[in-house]
Amino acid sequence: MSTEADLKEIIEELRQYYEFQKSMGVERVYAGKQEKEAGPPPAQRRQPKRTETKVTANKQTSENIITIEDKADLFDGSAKLMTLEEIREEIGDCTRCKLHEGRTKLVFGEGNPNASLVFVGEGPGKDEDLQGRPFVGRAGKLLTKIIEAMGLKREDVYICNVVKCRPPGNRTPEQDEMATCEQFLFKQIRSIDPEVIVCLGATASQSLLKTKNSLGSLRGKFHLYGNKKLMVTYHPAALLRNPNFKKPLWEDMQVVMKELGLKRPGD
């Protein structure tokens, strides 16, 4: 790449980060002499586009190759491909694990059934449990801002959780609960067939990647989940507690945007 191209890329990354900070309510960010203008209206935002990138289960460049023996058929095409409606029907009024005892509403997931990008959180919180929708509380609103900062709308992507019922007092889901419920997430991902999965927070990441490695060591690069590229990043709730996580999260999202061929509005 030429020096000029390098410079352009650096300036563009700085501009995108500034816009991201602004969209998340940060009013003062040093951006040089000139204030940047906001992008065009939401109607002009791009849809996530499917890239030509193909990842095979055998590719050795990612750090984690997930071979979930008993679930491999969910990705290799031999399992029945179900629609999201069929998967929801299969879950039914689920009592397969003890989390059903305290739930108000089961939170299946929502969004574009053909999304190129899927966000996976840990489990529903209080607001989600009451409304039956994922990421609708404070952390959810922040996730929506992150999605918009990527140049997308919430309805362009698909959002769901590892467990579909709220753990009591928002505790971390237990291993047996995640293991029982995960089958539905596998089926959702197979049905949607996204290009990229973004795991929000350590619990979802460790659960999907079958690892005990820290979030800090997992984030920032792609892993493989079946044949899908998976990015690990911070949960929006962590950003509410510690704004210092905004920068690394945005760096992770830039890697995802590059993979999907996404550009911010106005680019």
Query: Cβ 85 to ligand SF4, closest distance in Å?
Result: 16
Using the rule CB under 6 A, is 187 a contact of ligand SF4? Answer: no
Using the rule CB under 6 A, is 106 a contact of ligand SF4? Answer: yes
Shorter beta-carbon distance to ligand SF4: residue 106 or 117: 106
* Burial environment of residue 236 by CB neighbours within 10 A (0 to 12, 13 to 18, 19 or more): buried
The only residue of 163, 185, 198, 239 in contact with ligand SF4, by rule CB under 6 A: 163
Using the rule CB under 6 A, is 107 a contact of ligand SF4? Answer: no
- How far apart, in Å, are the Cα atoms of 225 and each of 18, 56, 75, 178, 254? 31, 10, 9, 16, 20
The only residue of 74, 120, 181, 237 in contact with ligand SF4, by rule CB under 6 A: 181
| Sign of the four-CA dihedral 135, 137, 143, 144 | positive
Q: Residues 35, 36, 40, 41: what is their CA dihedral angle, to the nearest 10 degrees? A: -50
CB 51 within 8 A of CB 259: yes
Query: Cβ 26 to ligand SF4, closest distance in Å?
Result: 36
Shorter beta-carbon distance to ligand SF4: residue 74 or 117: 74
How many residues touch ligand SF4 under the rule CB under 6 A: the total is 14
The only residue of 45, 154, 164, 219 in contact with ligand SF4, by rule CB under 6 A: 164
Residue 113 CA, chain-centre distance (Å), reads 14
Classified as helix, coil or strand, 216 is helix
Residue at 178: amino acid letter: M
- Return d(Cα 199, Cα 209) in angstroms, integer: 10
Q: How many CB atoms lie within 10 A of CB 6?
A: 10
The only residue of 66, 147, 165, 262 in contact with ligand SF4, by rule CB under 6 A: 165
Query: Cβ 190 to ligand SF4, closest distance in Å?
Result: 17
Map the footprint of ligand SF4 across residues 36-65, applying CB under 6 A: none
Q: What does the per-residue mask of binding to ligand SF4 show for 220-259, with x meaning CB under 6 A?
A: ----------------------------------------
Cα three-residue angle 185-190-194, rounded to 5 degrees:
100
Query: Cβ 165 to ligand SF4, closest distance in Å?
Result: 3
Map the footprint of ligand SF4 across residues 75-104, applying CB under 6 A: 91, 94-97, 99-100
The only residue of 172, 180, 211, 227 in contact with ligand SF4, by rule CB under 6 A: 180
- Return d(Cα 26, Cα 19) in angstroms, integer: 9
Shorter beta-carbon distance to ligand SF4: residue 40 or 102: 102
Sequence-ordered list of residues with C-beta below 8 angstroms from that of 229, at least 6 positions apart, any chain: 53, 55, 62, 195, 196, 197, 222, 223, 259
Query: Cβ 94 to ligand SF4, closest distance in Å?
Result: 3
Q: Which residues bind ligand SF4 (CB under 6 A)?
A: 91, 94-97, 99-100, 106, 163-165, 177, 180-181
